[in-house]
Amino acid sequence: MMQEAKPLAAAAAADIHRAVAAFIDFDGTLVALAPRPDAVVVPKTLAPRLAALAARLDGALALVTGRPIEAVDRFLAPYRLAVAGGHGTERRRADGTLVAPDPALAAAAARIGARLRPLADREPRVVLETKPASVALHFREAPELEAVCRRAVDEALQAEPLFTVVAGKMVFEARPARIDKGTAVEAFLTEPPFAGRAPLFIGDDRTDEDGFAVVQRRGGLGIKVGPGPTAAHYRLADPTAVHRLIEKLGDGGAIGEMAGLTAFLDQEEAAS
């Protein structure tokens, strides 16, 4: 059962002498949520700060998001970081090589999107976001249509046994049943420069719980952004607090190891 996040007094689950590998969600974590996916506001300082963090961690930084990789690149141009897009259905490794979506999953996602298109066309406040191998139906501008959207997604998946539906913040995600943010993190951790490092995962939504579980099982830390139940060991208040963490990790290496990281997180929680 998920519980409210609490700080670990001495980071008992983590080896405090290991360098950090950072995995960070995008929406709700690095940028505030917006009514529509294309309306998020990306602070001008964010992309350079992420680049500085990647350099400080010798490349051991990856964004792990429900968005497609091309969308992340557009928001963070001209920087191109390691990314797991579509909840891990596609990945760009730290060396720049791409792991493309399974063609069968891409075809299934296209069919699901086609089945949901009439609802989005009929109700302009509902946003259909199609991705290379997953589909999201957003209803942030029409919360009263939550049940309608859930029913539509469930019906769209009836003939797609490889897919499942996951509820997020005012969104229903149709994604492959055996792929999630946790499996994406697992894949990165088998590759340089992530392998052997103490992983941390920062995220705000239910879909990030898979990432928290993986990193904490490997002796790292999950960091929940915002309120709500979670299995993560730590919590930051909002994206602004995440930006402070990125600056500390990336601009001078003051907390580049797990010991300094946990001390910073304890200070943030005490101040909130």
Orientation angle between helical segments 239-250 and 258-271, nearest 10 degrees: 150
Q: Which residues are CB-contacts of 188 (< 8 A; sequence separation ≥ 6)?
A: 21, 23, 62, 82, 84, 91, 93, 94, 194
The pair of three-digit structure tokens given for residue 66, joined into one six-digit string: 């429900």
CB-CB neighbours of 205 under 10 Å: 24
The pair of three-digit structure tokens given for residue 113, joined into one six-digit string: 């999107």
How many Å apart are CA 52 and CA 254, to the nearest integer? 13
Catalytic residue among 25, 27, 204, 208: 25
Give the chain's radius of gyration (CA, Å). 18
Q: Which residues are CB-contacts of 61 (< 8 A; sequence separation ≥ 6)?
A: 21, 22, 23, 24, 50, 53, 54, 81, 82
Our answer to whether residue 73 is catalytic in this structure is no
Dihedral sign (CA 27, 31, 35, 38): negative
Active site residues per annotation:
25
